[in-house]
Structure 1
């Protein structure tokens, strides 16, 4: 075999390898682009799901805060002389509405404390037991709307009646 023949074989093989390299690179680049497209679609899908979940949690938190505000405000009907006689019926109606709404939106912990408090009211108990049960309700509401690691306790809640 002559030098010329060897050179032609080497150049032919080099051309073949170059052509195969270009074909493989094009194939792998297309596969890579396809994979990038799939990954981008999945990331966008996950992003939308996270945004949707965050929005729902935020709306739920706002709803709970409103329900708890109404509930605590109307629960003052039960504490001593906090509500003037001429407004007692209005506060009773507010409480019943807030109580029913709480059963839709409140956490289990809040509903348990609220039920305990209502049981004391049904039994006609007043005084320190009632005050502690009331404070437990308020504390459960605080924890449910974001003050999970609160340092206040039921002993910190003071009942002031003018």
Structure 2
């Protein structure tokens, strides 16, 4: 059933755009033809669709890994502080290191998220019993609150960061 839904959504993604294409144009484009406008549109849209499917699969795997490692079915990047850690890294990069490119934002967010994830796991592992779902959730929530406060402390005195 899920595969059938995925196939329907992939076909819709390839056929719907600024110019609607027919099923015949999709089949011709997948066969290698780029003669008509419809086939050319499909050729461009196929890569967008493939990337969307791959990113969706990667996000699903990342969520499953996060829930498996923390042994918490409710674990997500917000509860574990990862999103605020990424945000803090981007804000600090903009404010203090002159970060201004989208690529720089992405890399700063990745580094900030990774550092925060390791920090939350280390803090959640302290004490008797090691890393438990409750301790990880509490460490993540506390880290998220602290990162949010630091973001406010960096942004408030500066009017040029919006």
TM-score normalised according to structure 2 size: 0.31
Q: Which protein shows a greater Rg? A: 1
User: Greater share of helix residues, 1 or 2?
Assistant: 1
